[in-house]
Amino acid sequence: MTREYGNGKWRSGAGQAALALVFGLGILVLAMPALRAQSGSSQAQSQPAAHPPAENIPDAPSAVQPPPPAPAFPTAAQPDAGQSAKPGQAADSNSQQEGEQEKQAPPPMPPIETLPAGSTPRNQINPQEELYKLVVPVHFVQVPVMVKDANGRRVDGLLPRDFTVLENGKKQTLSFFTVDPFELSVAILLDIGMADLAVQKVNQTYSALVGSLSPYDEAALYIYSSTVSQVTDFTRRSERLTAALNELKEVRGHNNGPPVLNGPLTSGPSVNGAPVGGPVIAPVNTPPKEAHVLNDAILRAALDLSKRERTRRKVIFVISDGREFGSKAGYRDVLRVLETQGIQVKAVVVDSGALPVFRQVEKIRLPGQGYSNILPKYASATGGGQVFSELSRNAIEEAYAQITSEARNQYTLGYTPQAVASSAAYRGIEVRVDRKGLKVYAKDGYYPIPSAR
């Protein structure tokens, strides 16, 4: 063993070796951070992304710097410890974390203030004041037109250039033309004040009446005699209309026998042919005149039809003998409602009103006896076409199908009229067809509906 003198003392060889070992460990500890940083930068250059080490071995205690913090536990977006990462996986996990943070923390919404019902905002001076006003011309006129030949058959295939429309004598420019069928809103008026034989004949045609309507049509049922009653509201269900008509088969008409003008039941008690308690006076008996409110029935149906959709063609379908007596509404007043709302009147006249001789006699109107030719006037003025006068059951059923087919399939012309002095005045319409031998059925005119301002 050798000894060495240093610092005034002798040291052995073993002591020198221990001192060198301690000195080397100190230099190694001081160089560890630089080596760790250099190795990290080289790994970052060689690999796209860094991952936590497979084993977390803490460094030796150092008096120069505090120990680094322990790595965080891996999340669901990070790979588990001990697994090797593929290139680009770390970048994907970072983008997923950023996307989740954006979803979890949306941008703050501006504050929303709600007001109780019926209140107005503070910054609104007049809540009734409109921001803007849109003006749309409402005086657009539609004219359904039916064209027939000399034999009464419908004429198809006409074009817009074949028609000429005059309003108050001035030619109008057509802006609308179609031959497409329209959905119908039909008000059926049944006259139960006819003779019982006629009522029972009409009862047998109810199935054909329902069958003449398409699934897209809607119909309401009314009955009238001395008063008007609505049986069903507007419906497209054929079974509901059929059930209501079947119930009406129990309704009986009036007795068609002659009125009782003489006999024991025409006066009071008598003794030896002389009335008791008074002078002998020859009785004068007249049959009572029963009310037959056809005008009131048409007015009731027209007011209900005015509430239906304007896209539908509105029709009043009357099945009656054509008598009118005792209505509160007059013909001109009812016609004005029909022309204002664009409602057509179509009719099948049965019983005595279908007899040619009777129709000619009834044209002579006696004061206080009512009217018997008022249905053709309604049909002609509203564009409903001719009135069907039928006596047999088969003829009545064929008239149902023809009436609904004509109402649905018509030429529909449209135009915007020129401004006139009085917007509420009646305007006459004349429709001409540039072909000879054809009969044109269209409404005589209309009353414009006042525009709402």
pLDDT at 98 over 50: yes
Instruction: Tell me: do 317 and 404 sit in the same domain.
Output: yes
Q: Is residue 17 part of a domain?
A: no
Q: Residue 375 and residue 166: Cα distance in Å, rounded?
A: 26
pLDDT at 245: 94
Domain CATH number, residue 336: 3.40.50.410
Domain that includes residue 429, residue range = 134-181+409-453
The answer to whether residue 426 is domain-embedded is yes
The whole-chain average pLDDT of the chain stands at 75
Answer whether residue 310 shows pLDDT above 60: yes
Instruction: Clarify whether residues 210 and 300 are in a common domain.
Output: yes
Among 176, 166, 175, 169, smallest CA distance to 432 is for 166
Q: What is the CATH number of the domain that holds 172?
A: 2.60.40
What integer is the mean pLDDT of 341-345?
Answer: 95
Predicted local confidence at residue 130, as pLDDT: 46
Share of the chain above pLDDT 70, in %: 56
φ, ψ for residue 349, nearest 5 deg: -95, 125
Mean pLDDT of 343-361: 74
CA distances from 452 to 34, 143, 422 (A): 90, 23, 16
pLDDT digits (tens, 9 = 90+) for 206-221: 999 999 999 999 999 9
Same domain, 310 and 422: no
Whether the pLDDT of residue 67 is over 50: the answer is yes
164 forms bridges with which residues in the sheet? 432
Q: Do residues 337 and 440 share a domain?
A: no
The reply to whether 296 and 362 lie within a common domain is yes
Residue 418 pLDDT grade (very low, low, confident, very high; cuts 50, 70, 90): confident
Residue 166 has pLDDT above 90, yes or no: yes
DSSP of 80-136? PTTPPPPTTHHHHHHHHHHHHHHHHSPPPPPP-----TT---TT-S-TT--S-----
Buried b (16+ CB within 10 A) or exposed e, 209-234: bbebbeeebbbbbbbbbeebeeebeb
Q: Which residues contact 212 (CB under 8 A, 6 or more apart)?
A: 400, 401, 403, 404, 405
> Which pLDDT score is estimated for 247?
92
Same-domain pairing of 196 and 345: yes
- Would 191 be classed as within a structural domain? yes
**Average confidence (pLDDT) over 72-88:** 47
- 358 pLDDT above the threshold of 50: no
Instruction: List pLDDT tens digits, range 173-186.
Output: 999 999 999 999 99
Domain annotation covers residue 6: no
Q: What is the pLDDT of residue 390?
A: 82
Pairing of strands 274-275, 388-389: unpaired
Lowest-pLDDT choice from 95-99, 141-145, 146-150, 442-446: 95-99
Residues 301 and 424 in one domain: no
Higher pLDDT, 139 or 93: 139
Domain boundary (408, 423, 438) is at 408
Q: How confident is the model at residue 152 (pLDDT cuts 50, 70, 90)?
A: confident
Q: Which amino acid is at 357?
A: V
Q: Decide if 10 is inside a domain.
A: no
Name the nearest CA neighbour of 343 among 231, 204, 186.
Answer: 186
| Pair 152, 235 in one domain | no
- Whether the per-residue pLDDT at 20 is higher than 60: the answer is yes
Both tokens assigned to 446: 């209309």
As beta bridge partners, residue 176 has 414
Q: How far apart are CA 364 and CA 330, in angstroms?
A: 19
> Is 385 within the bounds of a domain?
yes
* Same domain, yes or no: 369 and 302: yes
- Mean pLDDT on 28-40: 62
Condensed to tens digits (0 to 9), the pLDDT of residues 123-140 reads 544 444 444 454 445 578
Q: Where are the beta strands (DSSP E) in 192-343?
A: 218-224, 228-235, 270-271, 274-275, 313-320
Same domain, 294 and 420: no
The overall pTM is greater than 0.95? no
Do 171 and 243 lie in one domain? The reply is no
Separation between Cα atoms, residue 4 and residue 19, nearest integer Å: 14
Q: What is the dihedral of CA 88, 93, 99, 104, to 10 degrees?
A: 180
How many CA atoms lie less than 13 Å away from 158 in the CB half-sphere?
Answer: 27
The pLDDT confidence band at residue 107, using thresholds 50, 70 and 90, is: low
Q: Say if 419 falls within a structural domain.
A: yes
Q: For residue 449, what pLDDT is reported?
A: 74
Number of domains forming the structure of the chain? 2
With 0-12 CB in 10 A as exposed, 13-18 as middle and 19+ as buried, what is 197?
A: exposed
Is 367 among the domain residues?
Answer: yes
321 with 441, same domain: the answer is no
Which tokens sit at 450? 């006042």
Using alpha carbons, select from 135, 137, 139 the residue that is nearest to residue 342: 139
Please give the average per-residue pLDDT across 190-215, as a whole number: 92
